[in-house]
Amino acid sequence: MTDCRVIISDEALADLQLQSSWYAESAGSDIAERYLKSFDETLAAVAKRPDLGRPRHFEHEMLSGLRSFAMAGAFHTHLVFYHYESDLLRIFRVMRGMRDLPRRLLEAPGAE
């Protein structure tokens, strides 16, 4: 299967920025860089095989058809949420999987 076209939402980009900034402050810039590299590796795998992700079943219409896939390596508790149609992969959000997902997926990045 060939790679599909990828669009990363502004919310997903903000999720990545917030999380990598947190890692940089809490654990150092090398960990933050490893986090972003893990995302890139995960994105490459999903772009090749979008069916790898687990179909999610949330009630909210905006979350309909969403899939998730765990990030590579040490960051496996973080999930990449995405929609896939034809040859287009839309990255919706990136966050830890141990949250109130239906609520958090609809909130703005950084809302607590």
Q: Domain ranges in the chain?
A: 5-106
Q: What Å distances lie between residue 16 and 21, 52, 59, 72, CA to CA?
A: 8, 21, 25, 14
Report yes or no: 83 and 67 within 8 Å, Cβ to Cβ: yes
Which stretches of the chain are assigned E, i.e. beta strand? 5-8, 54-55, 67-70, 78-85, 88-96
- Please state the pTM of the whole predicted model: 0.93
Give the pLDDT band of residue 1 (cuts 50, 70, 90).
Answer: low
Position 10 pLDDT exceeds 70: yes
**What is the arithmetic mean of pLDDT over 24-36?**
97
pLDDT tens readout for residues 40-81: 999 999 999 999 999 999 999 999 999 999 999 999 999 999
Position 99 pLDDT exceeds 90: no
The CATH number of domain 5-106 is 3.40.50.2300 = no
